Amino acid sequence: MIIDSHVHISLYEDNTKSLEENRDFLLKEMAKNGVNYAIVIPDNIEHLIDIADLKKAIELTKGYKEFFLLGSPQIIQRGSSKVHKYRELMERGIIKGLKFFPGHDPYYPTDERCFPYYSICEKLNLPIVFHTGENSNDSKVSEYNDPKYIVKVAKKYPKLKVIITHYFWPKIEYCYEITKNTPNIYFELAGTADPEVLEKSGGIEKMKKVLEKTVKDRPNQVIFGTDWPMCSIDKQIALVRSLKISDGEKEKIFCKNAVEVYKLQI
Ligand SMILES: [Zn+2]
């Protein structure tokens, strides 16, 4: 079984004309690649026509057992004022955790406006996910999501499951080193098989080494994800399959860890 813990319903890659069509295309891509379930990450900017926000994502995934959702709080626009809304959505099982976009938006993981969200996730034993690393067109964004801040959050909330996605590319070795002694940090792999990410991060062999070390340190805390439609599902599956780790560890990455961490009922 494969769970892709990081997809978007978006028209960014120009492969479909509407978000409904994009969802259907995603289902086909999942079936083609043997992916049974996917966690859809809504954009934190609302009402865009080319990427689903939470309201639209709920509408698009309603009735589909293949899909789960995260929430994406609007820290800049709304501060901490929506904590109750997200708490209720998590308690009702409609969303399985929260994704934060420091860098996309100008705030740091250590921003006090985020703290109430971290507290409720810690209380509900649901994870938070941090977007990290460069954007293809803007390397400055990574100043905001440097894992040195994420380590501070993880230490302040020691029972909180803190997930890093994109491995702070291109500084993957730095990200490994700075996080390695913080036990409640998790890694979700979206983007790590992308050709541009690999090229800028020092190549596929280096990426494999870092991921192998990470799995060795945290066999229960590495989670499969792709960032579809920006990144292809098959390349990401091939990267995980190529790692020098046991079949049991691969099975954990592909599905078991996501089930545990996001408390998925499947
Ligand atoms: Zn993404």
pLDDT per position as a tens digit, 165-192: 999 999 999 999 999 999 999 999 999 9
- With 90 as the cut, is the pLDDT of residue 135 above it? no
pLDDT at 139 (0 to 100): 74
Least confident piece of the model among 37-46, 132-141, 206-215, 224-233: 132-141
pLDDT at 163 (0 to 100): 98
Residues 6+ apart with CB under 8 A from 224: 2, 3, 4, 5, 188, 189, 236, 237, 240, 253, 254, 255, 258
CA distance 134 to 138: 6
What's the gap in Å between 41 CA and the centre of ligand 1? 7
What's the gap in Å between 192 CA and the centre of ligand 1? 12
Assigned domain for 27 exists: yes
**Is the bond preceding residue 106 a cis peptide, omega within 30 degrees?**
no
pLDDT in tens, 138-154: 778 899 999 999 999 99
pLDDT at 138 (0 to 100): 74
| Structure tokens belonging to residue 83 | 């904590």
pLDDT at 21 (0 to 100): 97
Number of helices and strands (H, E) in the chain?
12, 8
CATH of the domain at 48: 3.20.20.140
What's the gap in Å between 195 CA and the centre of ligand 1? 16
Residue with tokens 């978006």: 10
What's the gap in Å between 164 CA and the centre of ligand 1? 12
Assigned domain for 233 exists: yes
What's the gap in Å between 152 CA and the centre of ligand 1? 23
- With 80 as the cut, is the pLDDT of residue 234 above it? yes
What's the gap in Å between 7 CA and the centre of ligand 1? 6
Cα distances (Å, whole numbers) of residue 147 to 19, 28, 167, 187: 33, 35, 9, 12
pLDDT at 12 (0 to 100): 86
CA distance 223 to 55: 26
Mean pLDDT of 31-55: 95
CA-based diameter of the chain, in Å? 46
pLDDT at 252 (0 to 100): 98
Mean pLDDT of 229-254: 98
Phi-psi region of 138 (alpha: psi -120 to 50; beta: other; left: phi over 0): beta
What's the gap in Å between 158 CA and the centre of ligand 1? 25
The domain total for the chain is 1
Cβ neighbourhood burial of 12 (10 Å; 0-12, 13-18, 19+): exposed
- With 80 as the cut, is the pLDDT of residue 115 above it? yes
| Mean pLDDT estimate for the chain | 96
Which one-letter amino acid corresponds to residue 154? A
What's the gap in Å between 188 CA and the centre of ligand 1? 11
pLDDT at 137 (0 to 100): 72
- With 90 as the cut, is the pLDDT of residue 120 above it? yes
What's the gap in Å between 214 CA and the centre of ligand 1? 21
Q: Are 196 and 236 in contact (CB under 8 A)?
A: no
What's the gap in Å between 261 CA and the centre of ligand 1? 18
- With 90 as the cut, is the pLDDT of residue 255 above it? yes
Its domain, for residue 188, covers 3-261
Assigned domain for 12 exists: yes
Assigned domain for 266 exists: no
What's the gap in Å between 171 CA and the centre of ligand 1? 18
Residues 6+ apart with CB under 8 A from 194: 227, 230, 231, 235
pLDDT in tens, 56-103: 999 999 999 999 999 999 999 999 999 999 999 999 999 999 999 999
